[in-house]
A and B are shown apart, each in its own frame.
Chain A
Amino acid sequence: MELYIYGIIDSSGRMVESIRGLEGADVYNIPYCDIGVVVSKFTKSPTQNTTKDCVLAHEEVIERLMEYFTVLPVRFHTVFDGRDGVVSLMQSYYKDFRDNLDRLRNKVEFGIKVIWPSDKIKEHIINTYKKSDKKVSVLSDSSNQRFIRDKFEKFKLDEEFQKKAYKFIKVMDIFFSKFAAEKKLKKLKTESLLLDAVYLVEKDKQDDFKEAFEHIKSPHASFKFLFSGPWPPYNFVILPKKSDLLKDPEQEDLFDKVIQHRDLIGANKI
C-alpha cells in the first residue's frame, strides 16, 4: 500500500483533530522517536498531472498541521511504498529532521517577487551613455573596430543595468531583512523579474514584515509587486545528503518546493 507524505512534525502523538487529505483519505501520523511523518493512504500514480485541487489539498493539510505542530513540508506528490519505507527514511534522517524542526520552530515563509520596468531602465541607461564621455573611441571605421565599439557599448549597458538592479534589490532587502531570520534571493531571473525572494520570518514578526513590504511598495509606483504568505517553510529545510530511499528519480529532492505552482494558482485566483 502506498503512502502519500505531507510533512514531518515535532510530535509522535496522534492527530489532534481529524484531517482529510488527497482522495479524501484520513491523515495520520507515523511516529518515530519524538517526531512523526504525516501520511495518508494513496492509490493514484505519483506521476499523474499536477492539478489545482491536489496542490491545494496538499497545502491545506500542511497548514492545518501548522496550527498545532512545527512542520517540515514535504514536496508535493511524494509517495512511499508502505510503512517500512517511511520508517527507513526516518532512521536515516532523524537527526537532520530534528535539527530542522528546532530551527524552523515558530517560523513561516513569505515570498516576494518584484517586476521592474526594464525597458524604461534600459532606455534611461542608453540615453545617459550617449551623453557620457565613456564611449570607446576608434581611430578607423573598419568593420572590426565597429564590432568592438558595438560590443563595448552593449557591455557597458549590461553592466549598468545589473548595477542598477542590484542597487534596488539591496535597498529592498535591507528593509525586509530587519524582520527575517533567513532569506534566499534570486536576482534578475529574467530581465523584468528583478527579485524572486523568500524570507523566513518568526510568527510574531509577521505584521512587521508585511508593514515593511507596504513601505517598500508605495514609493516604487512603476514597479509591480507580488507578496505571498504566510506559507510553510518549503524553501528553508536543509537536508545535507540526498535520500537514496526514494524510488522515483523524479523525486530526488524530498523537500523541493511547491511554491511556483502555488503562486501561479494563487495569482490566477485574484
Chain B
Amino acid sequence: MTINGVVETDFPEDFIEEIEKSSDVLPKKIDANPKNVEKGLAKLVLTLIELIRKLLEKQAMRRVEAGSLSDEQIENMGETLMKLENKMEELQQIFGLKDEELNLNLGPLGDLM
C-alpha cells in the first residue's frame, strides 16, 4: 500500500469521541415527512425564537456589565427573561425537543448558534 499520509496521536479514543460529538449534533438536512411535519416546523420556529431570546439575553448582560440599569430595571428584566426561558422549556417539552436540537446547520457558515 502506498498511502503516505499518517495520523499521529497518543489519544485516538479522545479524538474519535470529539469528532463524533461534533458531527452528530445536527443533521445536514431537515428530515420532514407527513408524520413529523409538526415537530419539524416547531423545531424551526423554536430555533429562531431561541436565537432571538439568546440575543436579548446577551444584550441584557451587556447592559448589566455596563452598570447602566437601575435596581428596578434589573428586577423587570429578570422577570421577563425568566418567563421567556420557562416558556421555551415548556414548548420544548411539548414537542419533545432537546436543547441541542434547537440549531440550524448553515453549511459552510457553520451552525446558527
Contacts and interface: CB of A to CB of B under 8 A. Distances in A.
Interface string A42-78: 0000000000000010011001100100000000000
A263 B75 contact: no
A147 B10 CA distance: 43
A145 B74 contact: yes
B18 A144 contact: no
A142 interface: yes
Contact of A139 (B2, B4, B71): B71
Nearest to B75: A144
Contacts of A231: 5
Nearest to B61: A155
A264 B9 CA distance: 11
A147 B82 contact: yes
Contacts of B81: 147-148, 151
B106 interface: no
A171 B57 CA distance: 31
Interface residues of B, number: 37
Contacts of A262: 5, 7
A267 interface: yes
B16 A152 contact: no
Nearest to A138: B74
Interface string A209-243: 00000000000000011111111000000000000
Interface string B28-66: 000000000000000000000000000001101100110
A12 B15 CA distance: 40
A264 B75 CA distance: 50
Interface in A120-164: 136, 138-140, 142-148, 151-152, 155-156
B112 interface: no
Contact of A152 (B4, B5, B65, B75): B65
A229 B5 contact: yes
Given A144-B79, A147-B81, A225-B9, A56 B1 contact: yes
Contact of A268 (B12, B76, B82): B12
A18 interface: no
A83 B58 CA distance: 55
Given A152-B64, A224-B15, 4 more contacts: A60-B3, A143-B82, A224-B9, A228-B8
- Which 6 residue pairs are nearest across A and B when measured between Cβ atoms? A266-B7, A144-B78, A267-B12, A226-B9, A189-B22, A155-B61
Interface of B: 1-12, 14-16, 18-23, 57-58, 60-61, 64-65, 71, 74-79, 81-82, 110
Interface of A: 56, 59-60, 63-64, 67, 113, 115, 136, 138-140, 142-148, 151-152, 155-156, 186, 189-190, 192-193, 196, 224-231, 260, 262-264, 266-270
22 contacts: A59-B3, A59-B5, A63-B5, A67-B2, A113-B9, A115-B15, A142-B78, A143-B78, A143-B82, A144-B79, A146-B78, A152-B65, A155-B58, A155-B61, A228-B5, A228-B6, A228-B7, A260-B19, A260-B23, A264-B19, A268-B12, A268-B16
